[in-house]
Each structure stands twice: as C-alpha cells, then as structure tokens.
Amino acid sequence: MKKRSLVLVTVDCLRADHVGFLGYSRAVTPALDALAQNSVVFSAAIVAGAPTYFSFPAIMASRYPLALGRDILGIAPHEVTLATSLRDAGYTTAAFLAGNPYLSPHFGYEQGFATFRDFLESGSADTSVSGAVPSTNFLSDFNRRIQADSRRTGLTGAAYDALYFWYCQWRLRRENVSMDSLRRYPPADVLVDEACSWLSGLREQPFFLWLHLMDPHHPYYPPAEALSSLDKSDITPRRARFLNSFWNRGDIGARRLERHRDEIIALYDAGIFWVDKQISRLVQALQKFQRWDGTVFAVTADHGEEFLEHGRRYHSPTSLPEQLIHVPLLLRSPEVSGMRLSQEPFSLIHLAPTLLDAVGVAVPDNFQGRSHWKEISAGNLLSEPAIVECVASNNPFQPSDRMRPRLMAVRDAMYKLVIDFNQNFNGITDSFYDLKNDPGEHSPVPDGALPEVRARLFKIARAHLQQTQRNRNVELRLLAHLRAIQQSPAKNQSGAISALPPTGSC
Amino acid sequence: MTQYRTVNLPEDLCAAAEKRLPSRFDSLEALLSFLLQEIAKDEASRLDQAEEQVLEQRLRDLGYI
C-alpha cells in the first residue's frame, strides 16, 4: 500500500472557542469549517503543557514537558520524534515555522527535518509593544530621574506610568506605519508560499510537512485585508499600535483594560482569519499537485490565549484555565467522510502516535502517548483524563529560571483539578471545577464536595508524578545538558545566546 | 572532608576543551564535575520528589489515602 503523507499545521495561541467548527459565532474560519465537514473534529482537545515551550515536546515527541526534568526545554538530541520517525520511514520532511525562538534548532526542533526554516533570521520589526519612543540621552537621563522619584509612592508611580504611556502615544502620533511594518512574525501567507514552493518540487515520495503559524500571537497586527474581511477596517495600523500598547500596559488593572478588549479580540480574530485563508491555499496547492487524496491533514494549536476572562492577558502559565489549555484539533483523513465529532477529552500527548498510526508508520516505544486512531476510526474514542503540566515562569530561556514549582491540571470530561505547588515545594493550592455546570471556571467546587471525583483526579496527578520519576530518560537528559553547554558562549567570546525571546513572549 | 580521585585524560583533549570552555565553567574540573553530578543526582528529580510528597500529604489530609 502506498504510504500516506502528513501535513501538520500548528497555530500559536489559537483557542478552541474561536473557531467556527467548535461554535464561534464570528465567521473567522470558513475554510476550516468546510474542512471539518469531512474530518474528525475533537471538541475537547487539551494540550499537555502551555505555553509553546511546554506544549511542543508532547506534540512533536509525545513526551510530557517536564518528563526529562523541568530544566530541560525542547527536544533532546537524538530524541525520537514524529519527524524522525517519518524520516526513518522514508518520508521527505520539511518544517516552516514563523519565527518562534522556542521552536528553533537551539531547542532541537530541526531534528528529523531535511528542510527546516524557522524565519528567525529576519528579526523583529516591532517596536511598539512598550510604546517606547526614541529620545536623546539628555531626555532619557531626565526621564529616568523622574521615574525613580515617582516610585516613592504608589500614587506618583501610577501617575508617572500613565503620563509616560500617553506621552509615548503623543510622540508616535505622526509616524507613518503599516500593519506589515509593525508585525513581529512572518504572516501565514509567507509560510504557505514557502510550503507550496517546497511541495511543487516533490516527486512521488511520501512527505511530512509541518507549518507553525504565529498570526494570532501578540502583538496583534493582522494584514489589513483580514481586518477588512471581518468588517473591521476602522482599526487602522496606528489604532492597532495604540491598542497593542494599551493592552500591554502593566500599570493598570483588568477593569481599565476591559475598555479595549473587543477591539483587541477583533485583531486576534483577524489573525485567525488570515491563518484560515492561507490553510485554504495550502489545501488547494495539495489538490493541484494531486497529493490531497493521499494526505492526512491535521490542524491544532499549542495553547490558547486569555482576554481577561480571569483578569489575565496573553498566555503566561500562571494558571491553567480552559482558555489556555483547550485547543482546536481537526484531523482530516482520506477515508473519513462526513464530520465525526469526538467529544471526549483528547490529550495532545496522543497526537503524534495517532498521526503515525493514521499514515501507517509504526509508533515508537518511547512515546508516552498512544495511538487512538483505531478508536477514532471506529467512532468510539474512550474517555481518558488529560494531564497538563508546566512551570509557572514568565520566560524560561535560561535554565536557572526553570527550577520553579510545577503547575498542573487533571481534566476529564466533566471535572478539572488544578494543582499549584508553592514556592517552597512544601504545600499546594488546589482548585477543583465542575466544568459542566461552571464552564467558565468562576467558582471552584467547595472543599468537601464530590470527594470521590476529587480523590480520583488527585490520584491521577500523583501517579503522573511517580511515573515521571520512574521513567526518566537519563541519557536524553544528559544529551540535552551537553547541547546547552555547547551552546553557551565560550569564555573568550562575548555576547549571549542568539535569538533571545522577549520577556513574556511565546 | 571530600576525598578526590585522579582521572587520566589525554592532555591534548583537555587543552583543546579548555580553549572552548563555556563561560559558566571556571575550569575543566568544574565542567566535568557538573556532568558527573548530572549523572549522580539531578536537582530536577529532587523537586519532582518533593512535589510527589506534598501531593501524598494532601491526599492524606483529605482522607483519600
């Protein structure tokens, strides 16, 4: 039998409730909605970690993010992954990733790919997030003095922050900008162009193509065409810059940020719309090259995004609400006709083995997830709790920032237990939610209620921690450390590791 | 008091490695000690273990085990 090819599209920050095929009311995903009509749609796909750096070890290597130790980020050298398995099975492999520093060779994501482009060489065009403006040394020194003085009381500090923000906006008011010049990551059309060009050069061999698209990631600067399609042309580039700067303010609370929430969501949605449009182009290209009928096509996300539902923005893992861990997952396989809706929780730890099974390639023994392809094909996915884990740290690019307490969630079809280990590793805060009656996770179930369910989820968490220690792959861990040592600058070299991501990104 | 062991390594290899020593290590001994410590015990495992014990205690406190 001829081997099937595989296309995996991962979209950064795409939350499940912002796609039409999972019920979103704004028409942002017409192409994906159409694709869903002949796909397996998972209505409760849950990431194994968040954000990107804690999610992708599961997506690409079917490994829980802290399984090698919380100080190890990314894929370890020589770790068996989806890509290496397909390469070893004779597939031609390519990855086009839209400039996320955590998905770079620095963290092992090039492994298994004959063609790998991470778009990190183009650098960042964005200067608007902080709203900072160029200024002379004299003004900078003067400003620093005022800032330091203002910090003497909370009130004067807040006044300084507000004044400085509006001063920056005033200074930038005449600058000509476009969405393209403000955008930090290459848009989906650039990635899809690359992918189409690569596809056009393929012969008959099976292939694996991975695309990672960043359009919904902040700062939110979608192409003007996408905004226009959503009837949001009133958000000009200058307005978008103001909105992003405002949304990024650390000096004001959720109540004040709320006033621009709808416009920020419109920008985010326009990014999703653009992704959808480009995925449609990719599908057309596969059809044109007569590869569509022999290709398994999967679309998912590494995590979601928060818009003040719990008072937070973006996707820092300070908690694990549904907005962050519940993502879309659509799996199109040639033999699936009609939409097959799978409503049981499906952890992305199972995605790689399921995809390998779907294309007919053996699943490696080291994968922690297992293939659900047979159950999915038969239409009876079993209910199985999903585990999510991460370290609550804003930016763990340096190993020393990773040795912090674990934050984990155990989520089944109806309930969710979130466990937050405290800073001294000697206690926990746990929150237990009834997702059926409280899908917004506004009121934890009171202590003492539903003890059997709570105990069951706690025991799953404990078993997971035990398994993590028991199954640690010491060899991969050591190899990852050796890579980090090789990447550190030598004593006689100046400069830090290249491509350091900005704080709070990804 | 810590006892030390002498390990024999080719001189040219040590010299070449010293030239490219990552800045976080003061000496070849520091680099090799780090690697051996990683094999002998790792801090990440200790944290995993501490968290498991905390979870165990919570289960006990709730009367689940």
The structural domains of chain A, ordered by start, are 5-126+183-470 (3.40.720.10), 127-172 (no CATH)
Contact A66 B21 (CB under 8 A): no
- The pLDDT of residue A491: 62
Residues of A in contact with B19 (CB under 8 A): 490, 492
The count of CB pairs under 8 A between chains A and B is: 96
Min Cα separation B44/chain A (Å): 5
- The pLDDT of residue A497: 40
Residues of B in contact with A66 (CB under 8 A): 44, 48
- Cα distance between residue A389 and residue A395, in whole Å: 16
Beta-ladder partners of A428: A421
Contact A70 B59 (CB under 8 A): no
Pick the closest to residue A248 from A56, A463, A25, A502 (CA basis): A502
Minimum CA–CA partner of A465 in chain B: B52
Minimum CA–CA partner of A427 in chain B: B54
- Considering only CB atoms, A478 lies closest to which of B19, B21, B38, namely B38
- Considering only CB atoms, A421 lies closest to which of B23, B39, B54, namely B54
Tell me the CB-side half-sphere exposure of residue A200, using CA atoms within 13 A. 9
DSSP H helical segments within A42-150, as ranges?
52-61, 82-88, 137-150
Q: A33 Cβ partners below 8 Å, 6+ apart?
A: A19, A20, A21
What number of H helices and E strands is found in chain A? 16, 15
At A11 the three-state DSSP class reads: strand
pLDDT tens digits, chain A, 506 residues: what are they? 678 999 999 999 999 999 999 999 999 999 999 999 999 999 999 999 999 999 999 999 999 999 999 999 999 999 999 999 999 999 999 999 999 999 999 999 999 999 999 999 854 434 333 444 455 566 678 788 888 888 888 888 888 888 888 888 888 877 889 999 999 999 999 999 999 999 999 988 999 999 999 999 999 999 999 999 999 999 999 999 999 999 999 889 999 999 999 999 999 999 999 999 999 999 999 999 999 999 999 999 999 999 999 999 999 888 899 999 999 999 999 988 888 888 889 999 999 999 999 999 999 999 999 999 998 888 787 789 999 999 987 778 777 788 999 999 999 999 999 999 998 888 999 999 999 999 999 999 998 899 999 999 999 999 999 999 999 998 999 999 889 888 877 665 544 444 444 433 44
Beta-sheet pairing, A406-411 with A415-421: antiparallel
- Cα distance between residue A435 and residue A415, in whole Å: 5
pLDDT for B4-55, tens place per residue? 999 999 999 999 989 888 888 889 999 899 888 877 777 899 999 999 999 9
Contact A430 B59 (CB under 8 A): no
Contact B62 A405 (CB under 8 A): no
Residues of A in contact with B21 (CB under 8 A): 490-491
Which of B35, B53, B54, B59 is the best mutation test for A, with the most CBs of A within 10 A?
A: B54
Residue with tokens 């930016």: A395
pTM, full prediction = 0.91
Min Cα separation B21/chain A (Å): 5
- Cα distance between residue A250 and residue A239, in whole Å: 19
Minimum CA–CA partner of A479 in chain B: B35
First-last CA distance in chain B = 43
